[in-house]
């Protein structure tokens, strides 16, 4: 900094390095072999695109294609005799039972934004590159058009594609040991000692990687009243309908509807957005990506709260429970159609109609007000 200022030893100077977004490119050390195809469930319009894509990957590209078992068992596919030979070559798995995290080279999603979020939830660690085709309703996170899928997929297989690293949140839900003991849920022979608390927290804790976490008052008529901690220090109490903690990717979802700013996914940050707060000065805030947020029910809260992760895994948070949130070290590498700047602003314009308004008329096109009056 200045002649008498320096970075304290032990703190890496890489913290001050600003990466050029254009340097985020996909390259293959080895040619991709295993491809995971995720299809939006309960949408019959995606059956034909799904079959067409699988046929292309298996027959023309000689890829090993993985699909969910419930997708492969679809009655519509079994009735198609022409697709039978392809279907027999597909590798199937079941969510929550089969671990495919170490054998997938590329993910291809057919659907909307929810399909991409679901695909990322299958990988709690490192996530393979994700190529998302817009076949859903909104398509903010799915930049590719399926009409040109052969050309686009071939380009990705060749490498050198732009990548957006979408950060995820690592969420730990720690249940209160006293509450568990009161409900008779302690294992036989265990006591509520300090040593047992640490062990039991690992058993009841749920670690979830998500783009957006929301806590609300649920069916209760009372306000939510929760305490927000930042790196162990109490920052504020949230009184209102709830609070949203999101990544920059989640900033364009529920957080944007609650009045937060929209942040480019390349910005390392965590957003905290109140939902209908009972304070006019409680504005959404952005904190550094490396901090740990902790949320607990306030001691004087009138009711419990409910938490959900990307709209899934909804559960009740009771007194004594705490939720710890930080940035995951495993982002989602989303393949760009053009580049990470153009794709994001095109999604803002096409999906959210950002800054769309009727343009002002030029002075020459405006009628003379004096003539109108006469």
pLDDT tens profile 303-360: 888 888 887 778 888 888 889 999 999 999 999 999 999 999 999 999 889 998 888 8
Cα(76)–Cα(80) distance, rounded to whole angstroms?
A: 7
Tokens (6 digits) for 326: 């930080």
CATH for 169-181+196-329? 2.60.200.30
Question: Cα Rg for the chain, rounded, in angstroms?
Answer: 25
Three-state DSSP at 269 gives strand
308 forms bridges with which residues in the sheet? Answer: 214
Chain Cα centroid distance, residue 209: 8
pLDDT tens, residue order, the chain (374 aa): 456 665 566 555 555 566 777 778 899 999 999 999 999 888 888 999 999 999 999 999 999 999 999 998 888 887 888 888 898 899 999 988 888 988 999 999 999 888 998 999 899 889 999 999 998 777 889 999 999 999 999 999 998 899 999 999 998 888 875 554 444 444 444 444 444 443 333 333 345 567 777 888 888 888 889 999 999 999 999 999 999 999 999 899 889 999 999 999 999 999 999 999 999 999 999 999 989 999 999 998 888 888 888 877 788 888 888 899 999 999 999 999 999 999 999 999 998 899 988 888 888 755 555 555 55
Strand order in the sheet with 293-297: 206-210, 169-174, 322-327, 293-297, 224-230, 233-240
Q: Which CATH class is domain 25-162?
A: alpha beta
Q: What are phi and psi of 159, to 5 degrees?
A: 90, -175
Tokens (6 digits) for 52: 């067409």
Q: According to the model, what pLDDT value does residue 190 have?
A: 43
Tokens (6 digits) for 53: 């894509």
Q: Do domains 25-162 and 169-181+196-329 have the same CATH topology?
A: no
Which residue, among 332, 110, 305, has the nearest Cα to 209 in the 3D structure? Answer: 332
Taking phi over 0 as left and psi of -120 to 50 as alpha, with beta for the rest, 20 belongs to beta
Q: Which of 43, 73, 105, 113 is catalytic?
A: 113
Q: According to the model, what pLDDT value does residue 337 have?
A: 93
Exposure b/e, 231-263, CB count within 10 A at least 16 = b = eeeeebebbbbbbbbbbbbbbbbbbbebebeeb
Domain boundaries, the chain: 25-162, 169-181+196-329
67 forms bridges with which residues in the sheet? Answer: 92
CB burial class (10 A; 0-12, 13-18, 19+) of residue 110?
A: buried
Is 113 in the active site? yes
Tokens (6 digits) for 277: 């707060």
Q: According to the model, what pLDDT value does residue 366 have?
A: 58
Q: According to the model, what pLDDT value does residue 194 have?
A: 42
Handedness of CA 268, 272, 273, 275 (dihedral sign): positive
Contact call for residues 315 and 173 (beta carbons, < 8 A): yes
Which residue, among 371, 249, 230, has the nearest Cα to 294 in the 3D structure? Answer: 230
Q: According to the model, what pLDDT value does residue 66 have?
A: 96
């Amino acid at each position: 900094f200045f002649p008498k200022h320096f970075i304290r030893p032990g703190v890496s100077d890489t913290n001050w390095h600003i990466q050029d977004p254009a340097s985020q490119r996909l390259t293959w050390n080895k040619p991709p072999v295993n491809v995971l195809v995720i299809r939006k469930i309960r949408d019959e319009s995606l059956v034909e695109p799904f079959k067409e894509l699988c046929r292309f990957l298996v027959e023309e590209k000689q890829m090993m294609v993985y699909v969910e078992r419930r997708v492969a068992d679809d009655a519509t596919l079994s009735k198609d005799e022409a697709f039978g030979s392809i279907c027999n070559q597909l590798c199937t798995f079941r969510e929550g039972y089969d671990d495919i995290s170490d054998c997938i080279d590329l993910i291809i999603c057919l659907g909307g934004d929810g399909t991409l979020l679901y695909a990322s939830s299958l990988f709690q660690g490192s996530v393979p590159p994700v190529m998302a085709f817009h076949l859903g309703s909104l398509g903010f996170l799915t930049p590719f058009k399926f009409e040109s899928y052969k050309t686009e997929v071939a380009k990705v297989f060749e490498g050198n594609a732009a990548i957006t690293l979408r950060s995820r949140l690592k969420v730990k839900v720690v249940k209160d040991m006293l509450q568990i003991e009161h409900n008779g849920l302690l294992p036989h022979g265990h006591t509520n000692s300090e040593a047992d608390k640490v062990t039991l927290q690992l058993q009841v804790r749920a670690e979830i990687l998500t783009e957006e976490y929301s806590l609300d008052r649920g069916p209760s008529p009372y306000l939510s009243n929760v305490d927000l901690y930042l790196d162990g220090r109490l920052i504020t109490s949230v009184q209102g309908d709830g609070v949203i903690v999101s990544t920059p990717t989640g900033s364009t979802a529920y957080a944007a509807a609650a009045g937060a700013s929209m942040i480019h996914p390349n910005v390392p940050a965590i957003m905290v957005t109140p939902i209908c707060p009972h304070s006019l000065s409680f504005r959404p805030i952005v904190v550094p990506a490396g901090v740990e947020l902790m949320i607990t029910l306030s001691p004087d809260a009138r009711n419990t709260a409910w938490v959900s992760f990307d709209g899934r895994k909804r559960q009740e948070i009771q007194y004594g429970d705490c939720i710890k949130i930080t940035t995951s070290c495993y982002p989602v590498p989303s393949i760009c159609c053009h580049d990470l700047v153009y794709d994001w602003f095109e999604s803002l314009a096409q999906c959210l109609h950002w800054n769309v308004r009727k343009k002002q008329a030029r002075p020459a096109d405006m009628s003379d007000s004096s003539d109108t009056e006469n």
